[in-house]
Amino acid sequence: MDKEYELLKNEITATAQLIDNSRNILYFSVATISAFAFAQKEAFLFLLPYIVIIPIYIVTVYLVKSCNNIGAYLLVFHEKDNSFMWETRLYENDTILRKERHRADNAPHLPYLITGAGCSLVCICYILINGITINLIKSIICLLLSILLLMIVFVIWIKFKDIYEIKSQCIETWRKMKESECRRKRKNALLKVEYETLCKTANNRNGSRDKRKIRHFPANNIDAVYIYKRR
């Protein structure tokens, strides 16, 4: 197996494990803060879990995006007919079953959507049952804040919900880069041939013009500069 391929697959595995660990931290933190909020009987304390939910959610979606970016890189640069084809076949399968997969793509988002909606709902219910008649201004602020925080969670979900599309964009970007590298290599190969031809004819009787061309040969061509220094 290609060394880079193996290292990047290990990176995907490590990132997936990190996502699982962060989700466990989310559950523990939300449960602990919620228990404290019920003990203190303060409505605004039910919104404290958002200080954990939102940052972990943002980190998680970017980790998922990173995994897809690595997978797209492996698909474009490493996977061929005679090698491991996991990323290629996974993407083809997702393409065929996109409608079914589109629903499944929401699975990574559910823990954050559910915990966020739960915190806001409990806060609103607690205010409506106990707090709104005691302190009107404080209750209104808590209501507005609970809605705002829940909207932030939903905005993150809307932006990153289509994982298939994210991977498709990554694949397209890597393919453009690969095509650009191939064009640059072909150009350098042609420049190298031209330079070698000029070097061979520079010692001819009418080679003074070729010598001037060599002197002004493109300096941004690494292969040509290397040949020039060797000679």
Per-residue pLDDT tens digits for 124-142:
888 888 755 557 778 888 8
Clarify whether residues 154 and 190 are in a common domain. Answer: no
Amino acid 225: pLDDT: 45
Q: What percent of the chain has pLDDT over 90?
A: 27
Clarify whether residues 17 and 105 are in a common domain. Answer: yes
Residue 173 inside a domain? The answer is: no
Clarify whether residues 188 and 157 are in a common domain. Answer: no
Clarify whether residues 90 and 188 are in a common domain. Answer: no
Amino acid 103: pLDDT: 57
- If we measure between CA atoms, which residue out of 156, 72, 55 comes closest to residue 106? 156
Residue 179 inside a domain? The answer is: no
pLDDT score of 176 more than 70:
yes
Residue 168 inside a domain? The answer is: no
Clarify whether residues 31 and 140 are in a common domain. Answer: yes
- If we measure between CA atoms, which residue out of 103, 132, 107, 122 comes closest to residue 50? 122
Amino acid 205: pLDDT: 47
218 dihedral zone (left: phi>0; alpha: psi -120 to 50; beta): beta
Domain that holds residue 142: 3-161
pLDDT score of 230 more than 90:
no
Residue 170 inside a domain? The answer is: no
Confidence of residue 193 (pLDDT cuts 50, 70, 90): confident
Residue 7 inside a domain? The answer is: yes
Instruction: Give the end of a domain, one of 127, 161, 195.
Output: 161
Which of the residue ranges 100-104, 201-205, 214-218 would you say has the lowest mean pLDDT? 214-218
Q: Which two tokens stand for residue 89?
A: 């076949």
Which of the residue ranges 12-21, 109-118, 204-213 would you say has the lowest mean pLDDT? 204-213
Question: How many domains does the chain fold into?
Answer: 2
Residue 174 inside a domain? The answer is: no
Whether the predicted model's global pTM rises above the 0.85 cut: no
Clarify whether residues 27 and 120 are in a common domain. Answer: yes
Confidence of residue 192 (pLDDT cuts 50, 70, 90): confident
Instruction: Read off the pLDDT of each residue in 182-209 and give the average, rounded to a whole number.
Output: 69
Exposure on the CB side of residue 89, measured as CA atoms within 13 A: 6
Clarify whether residues 128 and 217 are in a common domain. Answer: no
**Rounded to whole angstroms, how far apart are CA atoms 228 and 133?**
86
Amino acid 231: pLDDT: 46
Instruction: Read off the pLDDT of each residue in 100-113 and give the average, rounded to a whole number.
Output: 74
Residue 221 inside a domain? The answer is: yes
Tell me the C-alpha to C-alpha distance, in Å, between residue 128 and each of 43, 114, 142, 189: 10, 21, 11, 74
Instruction: Read off the pLDDT of each residue in 92-105 and give the average, rounded to a whole number.
Output: 68
Residue 177 inside a domain? The answer is: no
Clarify whether residues 198 and 149 are in a common domain. Answer: no
Clarify whether residues 133 and 202 are in a common domain. Answer: no
Clarify whether residues 206 and 154 are in a common domain. Answer: no
Clarify whether residues 124 and 223 are in a common domain. Answer: no
Instruction: Read off the pLDDT of each residue in 154-181 and give the average, rounded to a whole number.
Output: 86
Clarify whether residues 188 and 152 are in a common domain. Answer: no
Output the average pLDDT for the chain: 79
Query: Residue 3, exposed/middle/buried by CB under 10 A (0-12, 13-18, 19+)?
Result: exposed
